[in-house]
Structure 1
Amino acid sequence: MRHTISVLVENEFGVLTRVAGLFSARGYNIETLNVAPLQDRTVSRMTLVTRGDEHVIEQIKKQLNKLVPVIKVEDISHTVHLERGLLMVKVKAGGDNCEALLELVEKYDAEVIDDHIDSHMIFEFTGKVEVLDNVLIELEPFGIIETTRTGPLGMRRGVQGFTVD
């Protein structure tokens, strides 16, 4: 089963290496990983996606909690939460396809972030990972030049926050 895990860590040199090393040493795979500092720049939030049964995920959480720079770990997969990803995609443009491309962008409430209608366009899509996968399928006939995307970022719903207490 796919699990989204949020981790608060001290924002210091080598933390990412230690977390990645923990996964590597135990033969676990990180499917996606996003890291950014919080308002308190001494703390960063990692959102990582991995797969495993409940026993494996419990082991991962226990091992993460043993790392010194880790402040807090939470598997949000079984909570009511929101997940969103970001996709930037460069597509061939020109001729008759510009209007169809712009319709697709509007359909997904996306943004045109670079517009060269004679050669290419770059779009920014945000949404559920599955929706972003569908966007790529719909853009394929236009001629995808390049893509880059984040993995999902996740946050529990409700008034409670995942903060340093």
Structure 2
Amino acid sequence: MTGSAYFMSTASSVTETHTLVVEVDNEPGVLARVVGLFSGRGYNIESLTVSETQHAEHVSRITVVTTGTRNIIDQIKAQLERLVPVHKVVDLTETGRALERELMLIKVRGKGDDRSEALRIAEAFRARVIDATVESFVFEITGKGEKLDQFVELMRPIGLVEVSRTGIAAIARGPNPL
């Protein structure tokens, strides 16, 4: 290998997807400030979920899935940590020990054989029927995003009507908190 810059690795320009957990005070305007940080700097949010997780302490957990180069991800984390109501920022992707799941509700129209096929596929994916009429079903399914995407694609030719998905909920494995 030569010492020329032309042969150096371009790893710094590789785009990565990261799941960040941000613990914040649950107060008005906090989510707007976090999202504003992303939009103001042109960072993309792939998924966003927010919920109060410590009621007595009024602490909420924001889970953000974002993409960028290693430098961009590091900038995002550093800028999030500087926001006043932020208690902690953890990059679950870096821990390598995260569990991630999404919830999806999906409405499928179908009669006769299509109806039977929709139920068969739902059973294979462990989707639950949460509403049924003589012409349609609403299924509830949880899992990794890829699983949900596959389910949608299989339901499309049967009679896909509508899809509603949550963002990713993520947690680190093991006994320790963030």
TM-score by shorter chain over 0.5: yes
**Residue 47 of structure 1 contacts residue 154 of structure 1 at CA under 8 Å; is this kept in 2?**
yes
Residues 40-78 of structure 1: CA deviation (Å, up to 9, x unaligned): 250110111000122111110111111111111011012
Q: What SS does the aligned partner of 2:150 have?
A: helix
| Residue 82 (structure 1) aligns with | 99
Deviation at 1:104, TM superposition (A): 1.0
Residues 84-121 of structure 1: CA deviation (Å, up to 9, x unaligned): 111110000222222211111111111101011x2111
* Matching of residue 108 in structure 1 with residue 108 in structure 2: no
Deviation at 1:151, TM superposition (A): 2.2
Which residue type is aligned with residue 122 of structure 2?
A: V
Q: Which runs of 5+ in 1 are unaligned?
A: none
**Residue 129 of structure 1 contacts residue 151 of structure 1 at CA under 8 Å; is this kept in 2?**
no
Aligned with residue 25 of structure 2, among 1, 5, 10: 10
Q: Which moved more, 1:65-74 or 1:35-44?
A: 35-44
* Matching of residue 54 in structure 1 with residue 70 in structure 2: yes
* Matching of residue 34 in structure 1 with residue 29 in structure 2: no
| Residue 135 (structure 1) aligns with | 151
Q: Quick one: distance in 2 between partners of 1:97 and 1:136? A: 15
Instruction: Among all aligned residue pairs of Structure 1 and Structure 2, give the percentage whose two residues are the same amino acid.
Output: 47
Structure possessing the higher radius of gyration over alpha carbons:
2
Which residue type is aligned with residue 69 of structure 1?
A: P
**TM-score, with normalisation over the residues of structure 1?**
0.94
| Residue 145 (structure 1) aligns with | 161
Deviation at 1:160, TM superposition (A): 0.8
| Residue 3 (structure 2) aligns with | none
Deviation at 1:161, TM superposition (A): 1.1
**TM-score, with normalisation over the residues of structure 2?**
0.87
**Residue 90 of structure 1 contacts residue 121 of structure 1 at CA under 8 Å; is this kept in 2?**
yes
Q: Quick one: distance in 1 between partners of 2:67 and 2:77? A: 13
Q: How many residues align?
A: 161
Which contiguous aligned blocks of 4+ residues in structure 1 show a shift greater than 2 angstroms? none
Deviation at 1:4, TM superposition (A): 0.4
| Residue 65 (structure 1) aligns with | 81
